[in-house]
Amino acid sequence: MLSEKVVCNSHGQDSSYFLGWEEYEKNPYDEVKNPKGIIQMGLAENQLSFDLLESWLEKNPQPMAFRNHNNQSIFKDLALFQDYHGLPAFKNALVKFMSEVRGGSVSFDPNNLVLTAGATSANETLMFCLANPGDAFLLPTPYYPGFDRDLKWRTGAEIVPIHCSSLNGFRITKSALEDAYKQAEQQNLKVKGVLVTNPSNPLGTSLSLHELDLLVNFISSRNIHLVSDEIYSGTVFSSPSFISIMEVLKNRNLMNTEIAKRVHIVYSLSKDLGLPGFRIGVIYSTDERVVSAATKMSSFGLVSSQTQHLLSEILSDQNFTKTYLSENRRRLKERHEMLVGGLKKSGIGCLPSNSGLFCWVDMRHLLSSNTFEGEMELWKKIVYQVGLNISPGSSCHCSEPGWFRVCFANMSEETLDLAMQRVKSFVELMPKQNNQSGHQKLMNRNSRRTKSLPKWVFELSFHQREIVANER
Amino acid sequence: MDHNLLSKIATNNGHGENSPYFDGWKAFDANPFHPQHNPDGVIQMGLAENQLSFDLIQKWIESNPSASICTPQGAFAFKETAIFQDYHGLPEFRTAVANFMNRVRGNRVKFDPDRIVMSGGATGAHETLAFCLANPGEAFLVPTPYYPAFDRDLRWRTGVELFPVVCESADNFKVTREALETAYKKAKLANVKVKGMLITNPSNPLGTFLDRDTLKDIVNFVNDKSIHLVCDEIYAGTVTNGDEFVSIAEVIEEVPKCNLDLIHLVYSLSKDMGFPGFRVGVVYSYNDNVVNIARKMSSFGLVSTQTQHLLASMLSDDKFVENFISESRIRLAHRHDMFTRGLAQVGIGSLESKAGLFFWMDLRRFLKEPTFESEMTFWRVIINEIKLNVSPGQSFHCSEPGWFRVCFANMDDETTLVALWRIKTFVRKNRNLEIKTRKQYWQNGQHLRLSSRRLDDILTPHRMSPHSPLASPMVRAQN
C-alpha cells in the first residue's frame, strides 16, 4: 500500500539514540517540578549565549515587525519573496560570517552558496546531487546518528564506515580510508565520496592538518568528492585552532582546480548561533553544476524569507558577530571544563577535545563486559538509574563499546552540576570487581594512560601535548 | 568533465527548468513592467500570486507586535522559539492552521491538528507524499491540464511517474469517470503500476472546482482500484463564493465505504494568504502510517519556528481570519470581474471559473492552425508584441492547443487596466482574425477609457529596465 521507504527503517528512528529521547520525554528533569527526572544530555544544542542575541534584539528593536532600518514596511516584499537564490543581503552576510568563523583565513562567494532548510536538508540534497541510488559515501566512525536518515533514507545512497579507533584518538588514518574503500568495492558499491564532520560530532575534536591532507590526497587519487560538514566550526573553543578544508585547498594551491570542485561544505546556524528552530542550512560548492542542481532542489526546503531577513540583520552587524563568536567560545570552554572536571572526579575520562557541544566520554572501565550488550546495559542504567539521557557509542556506529557522547551546552550550570553529582554517586555504588576497589582499578587505568600517550599526540605541538596529558 | 561525477538526478532535466516556457519568464526578467519606470515592459501574468489583500495582514501585524519575536513586545519568546526544532511543530501553530483550514471551508469540516504535518511549502508536501505512497517507477494519475511543476515535485528525486487523465474542452475540462477509467486502462496496458491519483481542487490552471458528485465519483474510483487520492486544496480560499466549495474532507464523510487510509490532502498558505516566501506547506493524511512517516520526512523541510510563531498568533485570531477570508474573496471576485468584462468587450472568452488566481483563456481562434506549434508561435506574439507573460496551455499538458493561463491577482488595479488595454488593442488591430463574439457585455454603452495621462506614459520613450534581473525590491536592496 505504501512505499518501501515507509516500511523500511532507514529513517533510523528506532535506534537507541532516539529511544533515549523518548524516555526523557516521558520523565523530563525540571529543577522545580521534577527534580528526580531524566536530565537531557543527548541534545547537542547551544543554549549558552542566547542572552547575547536577546541583547542584540533589544538594541536593534523593530518597533513593528517587518520594517527595515528606514522604518519602511517590507512585509509584502518578504512575504512574496520565494526566489530560491535566496535573499542577497542574507547570503552576503552569511559568507562574511563563515569567513569570520574561520578567522578570516578564507573567503566565500555568495554565488556558490545554496540555502536549505537546515543542515539536515543540505546533507540530503548533496547526496541527491552526488550519488545515485546504491552509490556509497565513506564516513569516519563514530558519526552523527542522523546521517543514516539524512544521507541514505530517501536517496538510496549507502554509507560505508571508515573505522577509527581509540588507540589513536579516533583519528582518520590512510589505512582506514583505504580499508573502507576496499570494503565498499567488496560490497559492489561505487564510492562517490567521503563525508566528514569537522569539528566532529560526536568526538568534539577538529580534524588535524595531517588528516585533512590525507583526505585531499585520497579524494584526489580516487577522483571522488569530499563533503565537509562544518556545522560546529564556530564552537572551537581551544587549541588546536580550526582548520577549514578550504584553507587546506588554498595553502596547497588547489583553489579553482578540479579537486576543489569536488569539495563541498555544509554549514548551518543551528549550533554556532543556537537557532535550530529557524532551519538555516547551507551548501557551499565551487562546482557550478552542483550549485545549480542544489539550488533547484532547495525548492523542497527553502529558508523562510522572514528568517532570512532577520538573520541578515544580525549577521551584518560585525561588532555583534565578533563579540558573539569570542564570548560564545569562552563560555563553551568553561562548560567543557566543568564536564571534563566533573567526570574526572568520578574516575571517568574524556577524549581530549577542543570543540563541539559535547564530550566523547570513556566509560569502558564501567562495562560489565567489553561488548555492545555491555554498553547497552550500562546505558540503560545511566538512563534509568542515574537519570541522564546520554548517547551510547553504538548509536554513533563506534566500532568499540564503552564510549558515550555527553552534551554540556544545553542546560544550566546547576543542572550540569547535579548531573555530575549523580554520576559520582552511581560510580561509587558500582559493584567492586577483581578484588580491587573500583576506585583502585580506575586509578591504575588512569596512571597507565598517562604513561603511554598515543602516537598522534606527538604530532601536536609541545603546548598541545601538555593539554592532552593534563586532560587525561 | 566527467559527467558520472554527479548523480543522474543532478544532471538530468527532471527539474523542468530547461523547458521553453521559461522564455516568457526570461522576457519578463529582462524587461519587467513598471507603471512609471518601465511602462513598455512585459507584464507578469504567469505568476499565480495573491497580492490583493496584504494590507489586511499588514494591519494585523502592526496591531499585534508580540506575534513577532523581533519586537520589544515579542522578544521574550525569542529563545524558546529559536530552540524549538521538534518536527511535530509548535502545537499552537498546528491548531491555528487547522482552524484556518476549517474556516476556509466555512467550518463544514473539522481538521485534526495532530494530523497536520509541516512541509517546505506545497512543493515539499507533494514530494513527501510521492516518497510515501509510491516506489520509483510507479505512477500517479493526474487530470490534464495540470500545474507544470508537478513534473518536478512528484517525479524528479522520487522516480515516480505521472500518467495523464485527459480532460477536454467539450466537457469544460471536467474530470469524468470515463476519462479516469480510460487512463487507468491505458496505464495497465503500458505496464505502468498506478499507485494513486492527484487532483488539484480548485484547479490550477482551470480556476474551476469539482462538484460534489464528481468528487464522490473520484472517491469511489480510488476505492475501487485501491489507489491513493492526493487532493491539493491550495486554492481553497480563492473560491469567490466560499459556500459552494466542497472539500474532499467533506465528501469522505458522505462515502461510508471509503477507505480513509487512501485519502491525503496537500495545503499551503502561499495562495490563500499570499505568503509564498514563508514556506508553509501542509501534508494532511487520514492514514496514520503516512502521518507518522511524512512527519519524519518533514525534517527535510520544516517551517521556521519564527514563522510558526507568527502564524500561530495570526491564525488563531478568529475575527481577523473570518474577515480576511471573506474580504479576500470579495477582492478576488472584483478583480476577476474586471477582467471578464474587459475581455468580453473584445470577445475573448475563458473557461467559466469561480476560483483560483487566473483565467483559463480561450485563444483558439487566434491560432493559424489548431496545433501546438501555432500555440507556441502565438504565445511568442503575446510575449513580444502584446508584452504579457502568460502561460501556454501545452506547458500544462493540455490536450488541445489554444488555451492560455492568465494570472490576475498578482498586480495592482493600474497594471490590470494596462494589461486589459493591451489585449484589447491587439485584438482590435488584428481584425483580420475571425472574431466569434459570444456574449458582449456593454454596460450602458460604456467601454474602457484610459486617462490621457496614462496614454502619455505609454507613449514616452522606453526607459532603462532595472539592472537586477529580478524585479523584487528585496533583490535590489543589496547590502
What's the gap in Å between the CA of A298 and the closest CA on chain B? 9
- The more confident residue out of A69 and B76 is B76
The yes-or-no verdict on residue A51 having pLDDT over 80 is yes
Chain B residue numbers with beta carbons less than 8 Å from the beta carbon of A74 are: 473-474
Of the candidates A5, A150, A304, the beta carbon closest to that of B306 is on A304
Reported ipTM: the value is 0.89
- Whether the pLDDT of residue B3 is over 60: the answer is no
Tell me whether the omega of the peptide bond preceding residue B148 falls within 30 degrees of 0, making it cis: no
Please check whether residue B254 touches A, CB under 8 A: no
pLDDT at B289 over 50: yes
Query: Residue B133 is which amino acid?
Result: L
Q: Is A107 within 8 Å of B110 (Cβ atoms)? A: no
- Listing DSSP states for B265-327 in one string gives EEEESTTTT--GGG-EEEEEES-HHHHHHHHHHGGGSPPPHHHHHHHHHHHT-HHHHHHHHHH
Pairwise CB contact (< 8 Å): A128 & B289: no
Q: How far is CA B37 from the centre of its chain?
A: 29
Instruction: Tell me which residue has cell 595553502.
Output: A251
Active site residues of B: 147, 232, 234, 271
Per DSSP (E only), the strands in B386-429 are 388-389, 391-392, 403-407
Q: Tell the residue number behind the cell numbers 538530468, with chain if given.
A: B12
A462 pLDDT exceeds 60? no
Q: Is the pLDDT confidence value at B21 over 80? A: no
Q: Residue A453: pLDDT above 90?
A: no
Q: How high does pLDDT run on average in chain A? A: 90
CB contacts, 8 Å: B268 with chain A: none
Q: What number is the average pLDDT over the span A76-98? A: 95
Check: CB of residue B158 under 8 Å from CB of residue B130. Answer: yes
Q: Which helix (H) or strand (E) holds B140?
A: strand B139-143
Distance CA A264, CA A108 (A): 12
Q: Does B477 contact A at CB distance below 8 Å?
A: yes
Residues A252-280 pLDDT 10s:
999 999 999 999 999 999 999 999 999 99
- Mean pLDDT over B40-58 rounds to 94
Query: pLDDT for B141-175, tens place per residue?
Result: 999 999 999 999 999 999 999 999 999 999 999 99
In whole angstroms, what is the distance from residue A63 CA to residue A73 CA?
11
Would you state the pLDDT for residue A127? Answer: 98
Phi, psi of A30 (to 5 degrees): -145, 130
Looking at residues A310-338, what average pLDDT do you find? 97
Q: What percent of chain A has pLDDT over 90?
A: 81
Q: Is A229 a catalytic residue?
A: yes
- Amino acid A432: pLDDT: 55
- What is the rounded CA–CA span in Å between residue A289 and residue B12? 11
Out of B155-164, B226-235, B428-437, B459-468, least confident range: B459-468
Q: Angle CA(A42)–CA(A44)–CA(A47) in degrees, nearest 5?
A: 115
What is the layout of strands, in order, in the sheet containing B391-392?
B349-350, B358-362, B403-407, B391-392
**Tens digit of pLDDT for each residue in A144-164?**
999 999 999 999 999 999 999
B448 CA to chain A: closest CA distance, Å? 30
pLDDT in tens, B330-368: 999 999 999 989 999 988 989 999 999 999 999 999 999
pLDDT at position B437: 38
| pLDDT, tens only, A294-321 | 999 999 999 999 999 999 999 999 999 9
Task: Please indicate whether, in this complex, the C-beta atoms of A300 and B120 are within 8 angstroms of each other.
Answer: yes
Does residue A120 surpass a pLDDT of 80? yes
Q: Which residues of B touch A5 (CB under 8 A)?
A: 131-132, 135, 293
Give the mean pLDDT of B265-270: 97
Position B456 pLDDT exceeds 60? no
Task: Write out the three cell numbers for A149.
Answer: 536518515
Distance CA A30, CA A24 (A): 11
Closest CA to A404 of A422, A416, A388: A388
Whether B444 shows a pLDDT value over 60: the answer reads: no
Per-residue pLDDT at B222 exceeds 70: yes
**pLDDT above 50: residue A223:** yes
pLDDT of residue A61: 79
Angstrom distance (rounded) from CA B472 to CA A446: 63
Residue pLDDT, tens place only, B313-331: 999 999 999 999 999 999 9
Q: Which residues on adjacent β-strands are paired with residue B281?
A: B119, B268
- Does residue A136 contact residue A157 with C-beta atoms inside 8 Å? yes
Which residues of chain B are within 8 Å of residue A300 when distances are taken between CB atoms?
A: 120, 123-124, 127, 153, 157, 300-301
What number is the average pLDDT over the span A207-224?
A: 97
Question: Is residue B229 over pLDDT 50?
Answer: yes
C-alpha dihedral (B102, B103, B107, B111), degrees to nearest 10: 10
Determine phi and psi for A140, rounding to 5 degrees: -70, 140
Q: Which residues of B168-198 are buried (b: 16+ CB within 10 A; e: fewer)?
A: eeeeebbbbeebbeebbebbeeeebebbbbb
Overall average pLDDT of the A107-129 stretch: 98
The pLDDT, as a whole number, for residue A16 is 63
Residues within 8 A of B (CB atoms), A 61-90 only: 61-66, 68, 73-83, 87-89
Can A384 be counted among the known catalytic residues? no
